């Protein structure tokens, strides 16, 4: 994000292009405005995940066309935009694709002028361009066509199809239902019946669906495929290039719906990587990180930090919560005297970001691996601090104590069920398309998933676990494990998913 980006101004309306569906295709300006807006009015073509960037206290209003209950007329939308701006709010009107391509953005801007409300327009990647890129069809091509027309098929009778050229590329918006009539008119006007043509539904999303044919048979193919709006139709010689240039639908995880159960705020990187592999990440945290009920044990440990010969961290969360509490105390990192061990690379990386060197990092990222890595150390009489989750396995402290160490296990956080988890998962599992995969990154995530969704509804959803301990918990709950990461990291999870999909 550019450092100079300016936040949304109060009393102003921003007509922002959300891009065609892939949330990564919004502009920097658009994202900055979403982040800073007081109120966001959106409809069903804008990617809902963009709203996750809104301020937590921002008002988000669905003004779309899908759910009749909430449907507002264009007139009402125009009035609402002006009214919100007059209340002194920074208003974002988020529109699918580009606001000035068949989006009625022009009408909204005119209405704002009439109402005397200031506005700014942020262009977006129109679905025409998104579909071209993600379906492998360049809209122009030196040897095939040098003109392209965007046309609406909504009112086929209002268009003079005769006037459209015989070689240019046509991108027809809202043309699904009227396509047969449109094709007839184009052919009657002299366009070759065998001209390549395609329809693309939900372009740039992992659920993108493409139907390819010719001008004279695409209509039948659309019907046979049961294709529904929103879809674009592209007619022209360039459509033939798709066979060679398609890349998106060939991505290894294309179309796979993957449920991510890790805590909110820790899933974004993984979700972004899944999207780049063609998958649809579905974020539904089954755990949430909360402070422990009692800080006293951790505070006491921090007050005596210099006494510890070892600090052992078993998760990134453990590092973060320990540091938060250290910050709240009169001490700082200079109080750390002991050696440092981390259970795995993510934990170690967090420590290294603080310029703390990790003395011991096991090859196997579980308690047993860490114990093996500590084999060479004489732990007799050594004082060890383990700040970790309230609920955790006893293997590590028990074995360290057996080796003669004096171990203080102190709760730095606890994992609880997020208040909205049940409702969110309910919606996901009762929807049309169940997830293909669920990714569990700890025993607590899998335990809560099983509890919240139940084994029956999880049937058919393949489970990918981060490692043997999580897998064991899953099996104890009666959930079969379809893939297990090795190494026990998010990187390993991704590899395991790719491997399982490749061989299935």
Give the total of residues touching ligand SAH (CB under 6 A): 24
Identify residues 250-289 at the interface with ligand SAH (CB under 6 A).
Answer: none
- Site string (68-107) toward ligand SAH, x via CB under 6 A: ---------------------------xxxx--xxx----
The reply to whether 20 sits near ligand SAH by the rule CB under 6 A is: yes
Token pair for 243: 């066979």
CA atoms within a 13 Å half-sphere pointing along the CA-CB vector of 8: 32
Given CA atoms 465, 466, 471, 473 in this order, what sign does their dihedral have?
Answer: negative
Choose the binding region for ligand SAH from 225-233, 298-306, 390-398, 420-428 (rule: CB under 6 A): 225-233
d(CA 201, CA 24): 18
The reply to whether 209 sits near ligand SAH by the rule CB under 6 A is: no
Identify residues 40-59 at the interface with ligand SAH (CB under 6 A).
Answer: 45
Contact residue for ligand SAH among 78, 126, 195, 470 (CB under 6 A):
126
Q: Assess whether 43 carries a catalytic annotation.
A: yes
Q: Assess whether 66 carries a catalytic annotation.
A: no
CB 19 within 8 A of CB 25: yes
Closest residue to ligand SAH using C-beta atoms: 97
Query: Which one, of 450, 339, 320, lies nearest residue 389 by Cα?
Result: 320
State the greatest distance between any 2 C-alpha atoms of the chain, in Å, as a whole number. Answer: 93
Contact residue for ligand SAH among 37, 132, 218, 231 (CB under 6 A):
231
Residue with tokens 């393949």: 462
Q: Transcribe 13-49 into DSSP letters.
A: EEEEE-BSS-GGGS-HHHHHHHHH-SEEEE-TTS-GG
The reply to whether 429 sits near ligand SAH by the rule CB under 6 A is: no
The reply to whether 127 sits near ligand SAH by the rule CB under 6 A is: yes
Give the nearer residue to ligand SAH in terms of CB position, either 211 or 231: 231
The reply to whether 216 sits near ligand SAH by the rule CB under 6 A is: no
Contact residue for ligand SAH among 81, 111, 203, 446 (CB under 6 A):
203
> Cβ 117 to ligand SAH, closest distance in Å?
21
CB 210 within 8 A of CB 234: no
> Cβ 128 to ligand SAH, closest distance in Å?
6
Give the nearer residue to ligand SAH in terms of CB position, either 203 or 463: 203
Question: Given 22, 43, 216, 364, which residue is catalytic?
Answer: 43
The reply to whether 437 sits near ligand SAH by the rule CB under 6 A is: no
d(CA 95, CA 114): 21
Fill in the DSSP letter of residue 171.
E
Quick one: how far is CA 453 from the chain centroid?
21
Q: Is 399 exposed, middle or buried (0-12, 13-18, 19+ CB in 10 A)?
A: middle
Token pair for 269: 């990187």
Contact residue for ligand SAH among 39, 81, 232, 319 (CB under 6 A):
232
The reply to whether 21 sits near ligand SAH by the rule CB under 6 A is: yes
> Cβ 459 to ligand SAH, closest distance in Å?
32
> Cβ 305 to ligand SAH, closest distance in Å?
54
Helix residue ranges per DSSP H, 254-338: 268-276, 296-303, 316-328
Fill in the DSSP letter of residue 360.
B
Give the nearer residue to ligand SAH in terms of CB position, either 30 or 103: 103
Query: Which one, of 148, 152, 130, 126, lies nearest residue 139 by Cα?
Result: 148
> Cβ 77 to ligand SAH, closest distance in Å?
14
Token pair for 317: 């969360």
d(CA 396, CA 401): 9
- Site string (300-339) toward ligand SAH, x via CB under 6 A: ----------------------------------------
Q: Is residue 286 classed as helix, strand or coil in its secondary structure?
A: coil
Give the nearer residue to ligand SAH in terms of CB position, either 97 or 236: 97
> Cβ 434 to ligand SAH, closest distance in Å?
22
d(CA 317, CA 142): 55
Give the nearer residue to ligand SAH in terms of CB position, either 211 or 407: 211
Identify residues 138-197 at the interface with ligand SAH (CB under 6 A).
Answer: 173-174
Choose the binding region for ligand SAH from 125-133, 237-245, 281-289, 322-330 (rule: CB under 6 A): 125-133
d(CA 81, CA 324): 42
The reply to whether 131 sits near ligand SAH by the rule CB under 6 A is: yes
Q: Are strands 209-214 and 310-313 parallel, antiparallel or unpaired?
A: unpaired
Token pair for 153: 């098929």
CB 277 within 8 A of CB 493: no
> Cβ 7 to ligand SAH, closest distance in Å?
25
Give the nearer residue to ligand SAH in terms of CB position, either 174 or 312: 174
> Cβ 277 to ligand SAH, closest distance in Å?
19
345-353 vs 316-328: helix crossing angle, rounded to 10: 30
The reply to whether 132 sits near ligand SAH by the rule CB under 6 A is: no
Query: Which one, of 396, 474, 409, lies nearest residue 441 by Cα?
Result: 474
For the annotated catalytic residues, the residue numbers are: 43, 65
Contact residues toward ligand SAH (CB under 6 A) are 20-21, 45, 95-98, 101-103, 126-127, 131, 173-174, 200-204, 229-232
């Amino acid at each position: 994000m550019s450092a100079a980006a300016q936040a949304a101004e109060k009393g102003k309306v921003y007509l922002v292009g959300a891009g065609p569906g892939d949330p990564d295709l919004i502009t920097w300006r658009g994202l900055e405005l979403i982040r800073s807006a007081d109120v966001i009015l959106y409809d069903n073509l804008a990617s809902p995940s963009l709203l996750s960037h809104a301020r937590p206290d921002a008002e988000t209003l669905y003004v779309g066309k899908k759910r009749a209950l909430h449907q507002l007329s264009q007139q009402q939308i125009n009035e609402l935009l002006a009214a919100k701006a007059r209340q002194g709010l920074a208003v974002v009107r988020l529109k699918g694709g580009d606001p000035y391509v068949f989006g009625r953005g022009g009408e909204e801007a005119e209405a704002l002028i009439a109402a005397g409300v200031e506005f700014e327009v942020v262009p977006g990647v129109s679905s025409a361009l998104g579909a071209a890129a993600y379906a492998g069809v360049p809209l122009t091509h030196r040897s095939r066509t040098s003109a392209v027309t965007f046309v609406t098929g909504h009112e086929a009778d209002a268009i003079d199809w005769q006037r459209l050229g015989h070689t240019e590329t046509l991108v027809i918006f809202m043309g699904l239902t009227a396509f047969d009539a449109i094709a007839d008119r184009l052919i009657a006007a002299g366009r070759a019946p065998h001209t390549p043509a395609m329809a693309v539904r939900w372009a740039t999303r992992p659920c993108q669906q493409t139907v390819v044919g010719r001008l004279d048979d695409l209509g039948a193919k659309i019907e046979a495929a049961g294709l529904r709006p929103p879809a674009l139709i592209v007619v022209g010689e360039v459509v033939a290039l798709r066979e060679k240039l398609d890349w998106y639908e060939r991505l290894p995880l294309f179309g796979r719906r993957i449920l991510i159960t890790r805590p909110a705020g820790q899933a974004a990187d993984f979700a972004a990587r899944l999207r780049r592999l063609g998958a649809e990440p579905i974020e539904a945290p089954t755990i949430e990180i909360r402070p422990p009920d009692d800080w006293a044990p951790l505070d006491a440990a921090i007050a005596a930090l210099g006494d510890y010969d070892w600090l052992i961290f078993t998760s990134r969360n453990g590092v973060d919560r320990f540091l938060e509490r250290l910050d709240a105390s009169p001490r700082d990192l200079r109080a750390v005297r002991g050696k440092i061990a981390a259970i795995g690379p993510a934990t170690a990386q967090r420590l290294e970001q603080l310029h703390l060197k990790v003395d011991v990092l096991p090859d196997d990222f579980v308690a047993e691996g860490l114990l093996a890595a500590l084999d060479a150390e004489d732990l007799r009489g050594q004082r060890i601090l383990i700040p970790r989750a309230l609920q955790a396995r006893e293997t590590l402290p028990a074995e360290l104590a057996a080796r003669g160490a004096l171990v203080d296990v102190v709760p730095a956080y606890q994992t609880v069920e997020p208040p909205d988890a049940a409702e969110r998962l309910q919606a996901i599992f009762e929807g049309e398309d169940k997830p293909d995969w669920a990714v569990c990154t700890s025993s607590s995530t899998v335990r809560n998933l099983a509890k919240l969704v139940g084994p029956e509804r999880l049937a058919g959803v393949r489970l990918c676990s981060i490692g043997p301990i999580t897998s064991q918990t899953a099996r104890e709950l009666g959930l079969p494990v379809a893939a297990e990461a090795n190494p026990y990291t998010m990187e390993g999870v991704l590899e395991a998913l790719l491997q399982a999909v490749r061989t299935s």
